[in-house]
């Protein structure tokens, strides 16, 4: 796996695939023998939450920090934990940030600590989602996120997918789109993530832990 840093924050627009990516990263680092903590800072989407997978994390020895708003529809987050202590208490910290600039509000409350500790913020893009179908749209969403969070993204992660209907070609044709997103934002594309079963060459293989409710069996 590419070196993403010790403290990793994952952000992106609604439905980009960021939460599923965050879970995969935490699982893979844990399976590699690292002491992992994952923080659920997604205050935006009550349906696709990192905190909903607490049983998986417990089984793998992953520490989950889910502030009071996790699994609720609260509009205003109630954050009551020490970010520095969380980061210092593990070998790898993964932070799942809520979609767009509204979700970045929670991250902004910890921007000073995270910036001082060398946190790497990555922006997940999905060409097939509303409001990020073009590089210009995706770059605009990122600018809003950076302004509110008071953090600068380090790189683009391409998670373009169509849910269960995704084919390998659907992922491959988004390579230029991801590069354009990076060009507009002035940051590199650090990797593409794709469902493991698709076998996309050079992509970070992910398992699907989160699907829209209409795809669940």
Is residue 213 over pLDDT 70?
no
Query: So what's the pLDDT on residue 53?
Result: 86
What pLDDT, on the 0 to 100 scale, is given for residue 215?
A: 65
- CB 50 within 8 Å of CB 66: yes
In 3D space, the residue among 80, 88, 126, 98 whose CA is nearest the CA of residue 9 turns out to be 98
78 band by pLDDT with thresholds 50, 70 and 90: low
CATH topology for the 7-215 domain:
Rossmann fold (3.40.50)
- Residue 81: which of 96, 66, 70 has the closest Cα? 66
Q: What is the average pLDDT value for the chain, to the nearest integer?
A: 89
- Express each pLDDT in 177-211 by its tens digit: 999 999 999 999 999 999 999 999 999 999 999 87
Q: 131: phi > 0 → left, psi -120 to 50 → alpha, else beta; which?
A: left
pLDDT of residue 4: 97
Sheet of strand 120-125, all strands in order from the earlier edge strand to the far edge: 63-65, 36-41, 92-97, 7-12, 120-125, 153-158, 189-195, 204-206
Mean pLDDT of 92-120: 90
**Is the pLDDT reported for residue 51 higher than 70?**
no
Looking at residue 15, its pLDDT comes to: 83
Taking only the tens place, the pLDDT of each residue in 121-148 is: 999 999 999 889 999 999 999 999 999 9
Q: Where are the domains of the chain?
A: 7-215
User: What distance separates the 2 farthest-apart alpha carbons in the chain?
Assistant: 44
Per-residue pLDDT tens digits for 55-73: 899 999 999 998 765 445 4
Confidence of residue 27 (pLDDT cuts 50, 70, 90): very high
* Contact of 2 with 113, CB cutoff 8 Å: no
Residue 46 in this model has a pLDDT that exceeds 60: no
């Amino acid at each position: 796996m590419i070196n993403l840093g010790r403290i990793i924050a994952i952000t992106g627009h609604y439905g980009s695939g960021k939460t599923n990516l965050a879970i995969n990263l935490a699982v893979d680092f844990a399976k590699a023998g690292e002491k992992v903590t994952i923080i659920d800072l997604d205050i935006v989407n009550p349906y696709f939450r990192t905190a909903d997978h607490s049983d998986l994390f417990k089984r793998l020895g992953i520490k989950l920090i889910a502030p009071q708003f996790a699994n609720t529809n609260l509009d205003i987050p109630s954050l009551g934990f020490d970010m520095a202590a969380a980061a210092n208490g593990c070998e790898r910290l993964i932070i799942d940030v809520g979609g767009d600039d509204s979700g970045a509000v929670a991250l902004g409350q910890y921007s000073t600590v995270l910036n001082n500790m060398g946190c790497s913020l990555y922006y997940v893009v999905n060409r097939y989602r509303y409001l990020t179908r073009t590089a210009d749209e995706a770059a605009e969403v990122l600018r809003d996120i950076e302004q509110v969070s008071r953090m600068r993204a380090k790189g683009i992660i391409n998670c373009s997918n169509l849910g269960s209907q995704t084919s390998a070609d659907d992922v491959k044709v988004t390579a230029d789109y991801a590069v354009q997103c990076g060009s507009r934002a002035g940051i590199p594309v650090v990797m593409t993530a794709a469902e493991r079963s698709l076998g996309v060459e050079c992509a970070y293989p992910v398992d699907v832990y989160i699907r829209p409710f209409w795809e669940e069996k």
